[in-house]
Amino acid sequence: MLRRPYDELIDMYRRRGSVVKTRMGPIRFTYLLGPEANQFVFANSHLFRWREAMEFLVPITGETALLVSDGDTHKRRRRLVAPAFHHRQIAGYVDAFRRNADRVIDEWQPGTVVDAYAEFRRAIRRSTIELLFGDRLAADEQQLGDQLQLVLDLLDLLPVERLLQERLGLPTWKRAQVAKAEVDVRIYEEIAYRRANPDDSATDVLSALVEAVDEDGSQLSDEEIRDQVISLIAAGYETTSAAMGWLVHELVNAPEHWEPAPYDAPEIANLVSEVLRLHPPAVFSGRYVTTEFEFAGEQIPAGTQLVISPFITHRLEEIWPEPKRFDPERWNPDRPGYHKPTPAEFLPFAAGPHRCIGATFATVELQVIVSRMLERVTLSPVPQRIQPIGYGAMRPRYGVQVRVDDVR
């Protein structure tokens, strides 16, 4: 797992089946692997808790973030955030997605080499902060992004490594905590400004959180608001930019996709679905077992750290013919042998009560950006080493270097 974690997951499933018990140092894990396991976990949410499985996110998101909440508290916070991610609301975000993608492309010059992953990551970060939290925070997106990256880097560590960083107060941990404190100050300043200057016309998430009132008449605390803001910024661009990086990598290595023919919406959607299948940013999804249960003849005791893996499911040849091949046409319902995957077979955003609240936001953003890229530029690959890294968001470790052949 340390040397080649992604390949090892597949090998582990082939050798040992759908239930694999293992450990890393003092931490014991049980992997439930494959579509049947996914379906069981999604259908039996009463057996699990989220908080204990996501404890490693608390230093990044804070104690009260949606990502680390359970039960009624999770429902309440999700209900307050949900309006900003409604389909009708997201339709109004398309212009900003397009504008920020064009802002990046406008800087490219034919004959130059650019890191498309890093470039589009800027566009995605800008859109995320602007649309969810307003122009004032968007003006500081570069600084916020640089500081949050020091915190997000903790997700690249294995659980044991992260635990050692925290307990020993090592430099990576200390830098992350200093950066987090600086981000907190800026977020608290913005919360105070919004409370002092209410704007009835504002439609972003931050305004909704500041103005939200519980059934008993109480408001969210500043800490609760801050935690939602930071977690949504981090989740909003870390995973989406990872997927965009892989999408550029796959497209530049398939020249037929750069033919000067207009793409229609279903074709763009197929490109995005295929990259989310082949390179799901969330390699793992965790649960904490609260009630003992049996699966595939194995007893899983309470207190177990449970892991399911979209990555494994998306690369099983019994579901996906030639699973390692980038094949957007597999999503074409008119293709002979087409198989519409179930939520247990295609789960880039998980499923059940904790399904990613920003799934539609991310999908539409990817579709808009790749559409603009195909319309406006022609890119070609340059020799480079492509290596996945990251457990919180699997991304290309060294970026995606491409040559800009044409800009329109």
Write out pLDDT tens, residues 36-87. Answer: 999 999 999 999 999 988 887 887 788 888 888 998 889 888 888 887 788 8
Mutual angle of helices 265-278 and 222-252, in 10-degree steps: 100
Q: How would residue 208 be classed by pLDDT, with cut points 50, 70 and 90?
A: confident
- Nearest of 339, 362, 63 to residue 224 by alpha carbon: 63
Q: Would 29 be classed as within a structural domain? A: no
Residue 45: which residues within 8 A CB-CB, separation 6 or more? Answer: 352, 353, 354
Mean pLDDT of 242-247: 96
pLDDT for 229:
85
The residues near 5 (Cβ < 8 Å, ≥ 6 apart) are 283, 391
Give residue 206's pLDDT band: very low, low, confident or very high (50, 70, 90). Answer: confident
The token pair that represents 276 in the structure block: 């989310």
Q: Does the pLDDT value for residue 195 go beyond 70?
A: yes
The answer to the question of residue 373 being in a domain is yes
Query: How much is the pLDDT for 2?
Result: 65
Q: What's the token pair of residue 311?
A: 């990555």
List, in order, residues 6 or more apart from 135 with CB less than 8 Å away: none
pLDDT (tens digit, 9 = 90+) per residue, 309-358?
999 999 999 999 999 999 999 999 999 989 999 999 999 999 888 898 88
pLDDT at residue 185, as a whole number: 93
Q: Which residues contact 296 (CB under 8 A, 6 or more apart)?
A: 17, 18, 19, 36, 37
Residue type, 174: K
Q: What is the pLDDT of residues 117-137, one digit of tens each?
A: 999 999 999 999 888 888 888
Residue 389 within a domain? yes
State yes or no: pLDDT of 261 exceeds 60.
no
User: Lowest mean pLDDT: which of 23-27, 164-168, 185-189, 264-268?
Assistant: 23-27
Average pLDDT, the chain: 89
* Sequence-ordered strand ranges (E) for 245-356: 285-289, 293-295, 298-300, 305-308
CATH number at residue 261: 1.10.630.10
What's the pLDDT tens digit per position in 139-159? 888 888 888 888 888 877 776
Asked whether residue 42 is assigned to any structural domain, the reply reads no
Tell whether the model's pLDDT for residue 295 goes beyond 90: yes
d(CA 198, CA 33): 48
CA distance 68 to 233: 15
pLDDT at 338: 92
Q: 């916020």: which residue's tokens?
A: 144
Contact 332, 338 (CB under 8 A): yes
Q: Residue 177 and residue 154: Cα distance in Å, rounded?
A: 10
> What is the structure's pLDDT at 90?
87
Residue 292 in domain: no
Alpha helices, H only, 280-338: 310-313
SS3 132: helix
SS (H, E, C) 140-157: CHHHHHHHHHHHHHHHHC
Q: Which residues pair with 213 in a beta bridge?
A: 219
**In Å, how far from its chain's centre is CA 26?**
28
**pLDDT greater at residue 161 or residue 29:** 29
In the chain, the number of structural domains is 1
**Within-domain flag for 22:** no
Is 221 part of a structural domain of the chain? yes
**pLDDT, average across residues 386-407:** 90
Helix axes 171-196, 159-168, angle to 10 degrees: 80
Cα 58–150–124 angle (5° rounding)? 90
Q: Considering the entire predicted model, what is its pTM?
A: 0.92
pLDDT in the model for residue 237:
85
Q: Which domain holds residue 370?
A: 72-281+335-407
Q: How many CB atoms lie within 10 A of CB 201?
A: 5
* Residue found by looking up tokens 């699973």 in the block: 323
Higher-confidence residue: 334 or 8?
334
Between 215 and 276, name the one with better pLDDT: 276
pLDDT digits (tens, 9 = 90+) for 99-121: 999 999 999 999 999 999 999 99
Share of the chain above pLDDT 90, in %: 51
Residue 289: band (very low, low, confident or very high) from pLDDT cuts 50, 70, 90: very high
The answer to whether residue 297 sits within a structural domain is: no
Please spell the DSSP secondary structure of 144-213, one letter per residue. HHHHHHHHHGGGGS-HHHHHHHHHHT-HHHHHHHHHHHHHHHHHHHHHHHHHHS--TT--SHHHHHHH-B
